[in-house]
Amino acid sequence: MTETLATSAEPTPTTAASPRRSRALELPEPLSYRIKRRLLGPALTTDQLEHERLGIPTAVAVFSSDCISSSAYATEEILRVLVGAIGVFAFSLVVPITVAMLVVLFFLILSYRETIKEYPTAGGAYMVTRDNFGLLPAQVAGVALLTDYILTVAVSTAAGTAALVSLVPSLGSYSVVICLFFIFLIAAGNLKGVKESGLIFSIPTYFFIAMGGILLLVGAFKWVHGDLHPLYPGLAHGIWPAGASPHGQGTVNAFAYGAGLYAILHAFASGGAAVTGVEAISNGVTAFKKPEWKNARKALIIMGGTLGILFFGLSALATKIHPVPFAEGTPTVISQIGQGVFGGKGVPYGALQIATLFILVLAANTSFADFPRLASFHAGDNFMPKQLTTRGHRLVFSNGIIALALCAAVLVVATGAKVDRLIPLYAIGVFTSFTLSQAGMTKHHWTRKEPGWRRGMFINGFGAFLSLVVDIIIAVTKFTHGAWVIIILVPIMVAGLVRLNRQYEAEADELEHEAKAAAMAPVLRRHVVIVPVAKLDNSSARAIQYARTLVPDELRAVHAAIDSREADRLAQEWTRLGLARVPLDIVDCPDRRVARCIAEVVAEELGDSETEVSVLVPQRHYRHAWHRLLHDSTAARIADSVEDLPHANVTLVPYHLSGRGGRREKKPTAPSAPASPTSA
């Protein structure tokens, strides 16, 4: 189209406006959306995106379930390694190892107090690492944390299931199914957008803290009064309960060869699972009541203290009660301690199990809040698929939630919902991200040199060092037990993310290069409109009517002739109806590939690279899906083969069939006075 022509037909937008519009056409919702709305509730609008501010007690409930619930399996995993290596001597080592881990916990808490103060808006490992070391190390921290969130879901639901099975042993054979059910339930709740409502979180968390507290108090009381006895008296004589005998028949001899030290480090590594979740509060400082960072710090100390007391208490009770880690995973060590303290399976014991189950499910739920948010950070920085940044129907990052549920489900099925098979994979990620984020904090202090930076740098530096040491211990001692999977997976994933990032950057670069100039580029010299016509029916009539609306430089109907008699008939009809103003081109199509044939016609027009071609494909819309199946998809195929050409614009001109035959319901237009085409 020449610019002169364009000018002469310049649209007059203002005059053609409002008065003509009567009312908008009805636009029914598709079935898929109606189902979604039924299942998930009405769509939430973006302005409903806000958080309630939490007081300290509620905040502890909301953020600490992951951390505190670790006490439900940490002692057991330490014991499992120790018993395997050195038998009954395990019970004399469990407390020292617990204390060592609590020292690590203490420094982590100190470190995170710094982080909370310095990064009160977004203090997650990803953000801190990105801020101090840049995007690439942030990917490592993020990926490490993401794998750990997946594992948190798997470990927590598996441990919760184990608590349930300890209470009701007959459920034992359904562990995997129960676990998957919990994952599904939590994912569904999150897709629905569970509000961070204080009550829902407070009940299980404080119920567990209360039951744990009662357990420790009663245990301590009985201990002092000498009423606390080993569960299995035979243990002293080397008689283990069935399903719990140590592989190694370990003896003190082990120490003679240095293997004992290795066993201790290995047990310590297993205990590392206890301190996962410590980072949760630093991710959510903005949710606290003002002054946010001060309240968050208090909550952090409460959380750390609670975990420390429970973890230490349970390990201490274990030295007296001698619970054994069973190969099957149930009854759990904490359930055995409960029986030992409360004297059998009474109401207090049952309450303890239920409380354990609840807090573990809640812990899994925490990952469903953290994983999608962290993934959306990655995606926002163009390191993960963009779809992870989209807030769904209920304002949550639905794609992240679904991805997490699927990954966790696969893990649960692969490990048969056994906590001890998952533990070797666990905690490596979290300590990697601790290391990076604390190192980042160290650099932060060094760079800023704000008041008290020396103290802060020391704390975070030591925290980073400690995290690194623990990480190495876990990686080495757990390597052959499964840690290698994570050690291989994380670099591969980071490499994948970097590759993805390169792709996104290249695309953005290409899409934005001189985009502004392009937006103002003049139109091409010529505009050709081509209407592929199979036969003269209402759907092609619609396309021709629309074609004439476009005022092109050239307008042609093209018939790809498979059957020459049919083509002749069409040409005759065309002439007879006086449609000659829209000339009909009959193109021979000997190989019967109509779409290809049209594409060739278009390619020829585009040859001068100064032409804009519009291909108007008459597209019939059938009332039912099976009606559509009865026809070949020529329209779609034409669109497919044409749109690979630059400046070939495919327009789908709809014609809606009522599916009831006879009189059309939606007429293309009232064919009142059949005007000759193109001109009035």
Site for its own copies, residues 475 to 494, rule: CB under 8 A: none
| CB-neighbour burial class of residue 401 (10 A; exposed 0-12, middle 13-18, buried 19+) | buried
- Cβ distance to its own copies smaller for residue 170 or 609: 609
- Cβ distance to its own copies smaller for residue 345 or 525: 525
**Taking CB under 8 A as the rule, does residue 603 contact its own copies?**
yes
Of 544, 560, 635, 638, the one binding its own copies by CB under 8 A: 544
Give the separation between CA 333 and CA 159, rounded to whole angstroms: 11
- Cβ distance to its own copies smaller for residue 225 or 660: 660
Site for its own copies in 351-390 (CB under 8 A): 385-387, 390
Q: Cα separations (Å) of 35 from 29, 40, 181, 223, 393?
A: 10, 9, 22, 58, 12
Give the tokens for residue 669: 């237009």
**Residue 491 C-beta: closest distance to its own copies, Å:** 20
Residue 298 CB neighbours (<10 A): 16
| CB-neighbour burial class of residue 130 (10 A; exposed 0-12, middle 13-18, buried 19+) | buried
Site for its own copies in 496-525 (CB under 8 A): 500, 503-507, 509-525
Give the tokens for residue 396: 């949550």
Give the separation between CA 559 and CA 642, rounded to whole angstroms: 15
Query: For residues 324 and 232, is the Cβ–Cβ distance under 8 A?
Result: yes
Q: Which stretch binds its own copies (CB under 8 A): 141-149, 232-240, 347-355, 573-581?
A: 573-581
**Taking CB under 8 A as the rule, does residue 610 contact its own copies?**
yes
- Cβ distance to its own copies smaller for residue 464 or 657: 657
Helix (H, G, I), strand (E, B) or coil at 620: strand
**Taking CB under 8 A as the rule, does residue 641 contact its own copies?**
yes
**Taking CB under 8 A as the rule, does residue 632 contact its own copies?**
yes
**Residue 494 C-beta: closest distance to its own copies, Å:** 17
**Residue 488 C-beta: closest distance to its own copies, Å:** 22
Residue 126: CB partners within 8 Å, gap ≥ 6?
138, 141, 142, 145, 374, 377, 378, 433
Q: Cα separations (Å) of 31 from 39, 303, 351?
A: 12, 47, 45
Indicate the residue type of 429: G
- Cβ distance to its own copies smaller for residue 449 or 569: 569
**Taking CB under 8 A as the rule, does residue 527 contact its own copies?**
yes
Closest of 286, 359, 290 to residue 71, by C-alpha = 359
Give the separation between CA 428 and CA 143, rounded to whole angstroms: 11
Concatenate the DSSP letters of all residues of 498-515 into one string. Answer: HHHHHHHHHHHHHHHTTH
Q: Which stretch binds its own copies (CB under 8 A): 77-85, 112-120, 290-298, 546-554?
A: 546-554
**Taking CB under 8 A as the rule, does residue 565 contact its own copies?**
no
Query: For residues 387 and 399, is the Cβ–Cβ distance under 8 A?
Result: yes
Q: Which stretch binds its own copies (CB under 8 A): 77-85, 159-167, 441-449, 610-618?
A: 610-618
Element (H, E) at 355: helix 347-380
Q: Which stretch binds its own copies (CB under 8 A): 70-78, 119-127, 233-241, 618-626?
A: 618-626
How many residues bind its own copies, per CB under 8 A?
153
The CB-side HSE value for 674 (13 A sphere, CA atoms) comes to: 4
- Cβ distance to its own copies smaller for residue 457 or 589: 589
**Taking CB under 8 A as the rule, does residue 551 contact its own copies?**
yes
CA 391 to chain CA centroid, Å, is 11
**Taking CB under 8 A as the rule, does residue 578 contact its own copies?**
yes
**Cis preceding-peptide flag for 451 (omega within 30 of 0):** no
Of 17, 256, 347, 625, the one binding its own copies by CB under 8 A: 17
**Residue 604 C-beta: closest distance to its own copies, Å:** 4
Indicate the residue type of 398: S
**Residue 123 C-beta: closest distance to its own copies, Å:** 23
**Taking CB under 8 A as the rule, does residue 545 contact its own copies?**
yes
**Taking CB under 8 A as the rule, does residue 16 contact its own copies?**
yes
Of 303, 474, 616, 638, the one binding its own copies by CB under 8 A: 616
Q: Which stretch binds its own copies (CB under 8 A): 101-109, 153-161, 416-424, 642-650?
A: 642-650
- Cβ distance to its own copies smaller for residue 290 or 565: 565
Site for its own copies in 244-283 (CB under 8 A): none
**Taking CB under 8 A as the rule, does residue 538 contact its own copies?**
yes
**Taking CB under 8 A as the rule, does residue 449 contact its own copies?**
no
Of 331, 364, 605, 638, the one binding its own copies by CB under 8 A: 605
Element (H, E) at 299: helix 292-321
**Residue 41 C-beta: closest distance to its own copies, Å:** 12
Helix (H, G, I), strand (E, B) or coil at 610: coil
Of 92, 251, 253, 658, the one binding its own copies by CB under 8 A: 658
Residue 26 CB neighbours (<10 A): 5
Site for its own copies in 43-62 (CB under 8 A): 43-47
**Residue 285 C-beta: closest distance to its own copies, Å:** 23
Report H helices in 381-482: 398-415, 419-422, 428-448, 453-477
**Taking CB under 8 A as the rule, does residue 587 contact its own copies?**
no
Biggest distance spanned by C-alpha atoms of the chain? 112
